[in-house]
Amino acid sequence: MYEKRISEIEQLIHNQNRWRDKCINLIASENVLSHRARSQAGSDFAHRYAEGHPGERYYRGTAFIDEIESKLTANLKVLFQCTHAEVRSISGTNANEAVFSHFVKPGDVVLVNSTPAGGHISHHREGSIGKFTRNIIDIPVTPDGYHMDVDKTIYLIEKTRPTVIVLGKSLFLFPEPVAEIAAACNTYKVRILYDAAHVLGLIAGKQFQRPLQEGAFLMTASTHKTYFGSQRGIVLSNMEDNDWRKIDRGAFPGSSSNHHLDTLAQMAIATFEMMEFGEQYAEETIKNAQALAAELDRLGFDVQGKDFGYTQTHQVAVNVSAFHGGEKISRLLELNDIILNMNMLPHEPLNHHAHPEGIRIGVQEMTRFGMGEQEMGRIAELIKECVIDRKTVKEEVNRFRSKYRKIKYSYDAVADKPSTPAKSKKTKK
């Protein structure tokens, strides 16, 4: 009866796969799994439950996922040099919820990055943290809008005595000054929560700041942006065991029951890839973002953060108000198979969220497909031809993208031989 309708869904999936294989994807919150990790989707684990901890489950039949989860947890502790790792959250927002539910009480003062200054929706009244307190204050920023004003923030900490300060952003160009505010936070017993969703892979690759070592109480993240894993969430910390038990309860049963075991297994594979190739990948990603930003600037775009080297992450922010704004430009580029998102910029009022002046660009996925600084220059030219010259560039985008189909920084090529650019380590025979 529904065979035809099922076929329609299958065709839509096929269309998506075929289309996105031809696109230049510059969404800053996305990445691709290696074929080796992706091939494990839909295993028997997709059907199973494993509530609780390895060896202490409420369900039987979990011996193999117990071993996988234990290996993943141990590897994350090594990779991020921390004593605790919670891997049962199924998204970054879910991980935030696990934390906020036990460390933010009704009426607590919480400092966060504002939405225009890059703060994520889960950090605000309409998101996760708003479920627990409405007493939310925006962190002061410097005139450029992309950096915390440290002196004003310390003054605000002294005057408002917040319970928590949430760092990390969705529009995230530069490191947060964790070390600079840590002493004041310790004095007034303010916990620093660092949301590393966008920069987790850069931290793992040792090319960005190290929040836990700089004074953050804990770090949450999603695992599919610069960290090229499956779509999940994690919580990491060096906190005392008594406090960590609150995170444990926040993750289960607080914000999840079963924790999607098939994607957990994929995450375990991706983490080994990050341990092997993460440093080079993170280095190349940041170089690519800076190269793209510089070329867009040269071609006439208002690239943000210029006075600070444009960016120190995978992201580039561009003010396109001269070309009718981010909503229209993102749609125009999508018609030409260049995929990115509109984004508010720090100087904009909140009511601009549907029609912001900016666009946000991320280079992490194209970097994983083997593109380098020269290719970033070509991407900048294609954006310029589309936006400024008003040319249709879809066919050229498709031709250009067809040269980059193989996923790098992975073990895809041969089971025991990594597929990487020339300067990566060779596997010993």
Q: Would you place residue 245 in the very low, low, confident or very high pLDDT band (cuts 50, 70, 90)?
A: confident
Q: Which domains does the chain have, with CATH numbers?
A: 37-270 (3.40.640.10), 278-415 (3.90.1150.10)
φ/ψ (deg, to 5) at 131: -75, -20
Does residue 421 register a pLDDT over 60? no
Residue 55 has what pLDDT? 87
Residue type, 314: H
Residue 53 has what pLDDT? 84
Residue 423 has what pLDDT? 53
Greatest CA span in the chain, whole angstroms? 68
Residue 87 has what pLDDT? 95
Per-residue model confidence as pLDDT tens digits over 370-381: 999 999 999 999
Q: Would you place residue 165 in the very low, low, confident or very high pLDDT band (cuts 50, 70, 90)?
A: very high
Mean pLDDT of 230-244: 91
Residue 123 has what pLDDT? 82
Mean pLDDT of 300-318: 98
Instruction: For the chain, give the mean pLDDT.
Output: 93
Residue 251 has what pLDDT? 73
Does residue 424 register a pLDDT over 80? no
Residue 425 has what pLDDT? 47
8 Å CB contact between 393 and 380:
no
Least confident of 49-53, 94-98, 255-259, 344-348: 255-259
Does residue 429 register a pLDDT over 50? no
Token output for 146: 């992309």
Does residue 243 register a pLDDT over 90? no
Token output for 397: 């985008």
Residue 415 has what pLDDT? 46
Residue 353 has what pLDDT? 83
Q: Would you place residue 255 in the very low, low, confident or very high pLDDT band (cuts 50, 70, 90)?
A: low
Does residue 78 register a pLDDT over 90? yes
Mean pLDDT of 280-302: 98
Residue 217 has what pLDDT? 95
Per-residue model confidence as pLDDT tens digits over 137-150: 999 999 999 999 99
Token output for 420: 């990487």
* pLDDT over 90, % of the chain: 79
Does residue 416 register a pLDDT over 80? no
The residue with greater pLDDT, 188 or 97, is: 188
Per-residue model confidence as pLDDT tens digits over 93-138: 989 988 898 889 999 999 999 998 988 888 887 777 888 899 999 9
Residue 417 has what pLDDT? 52
Residue 414 has what pLDDT? 47
Residue 310 has what pLDDT? 98
8 Å CB contact between 211 and 167:
yes
Report d(CA 287, CA 270) in Å as an integer: 22
Report d(CA 111, CA 118) in Å as an integer: 14
CB atoms closer than 10 angstroms to residue 19: 12
Report d(CA 22, CA 322) in Å as an integer: 29
Residue 427 has what pLDDT? 44
Q: Would you place residue 249 in the very low, low, confident or very high pLDDT band (cuts 50, 70, 90)?
A: confident
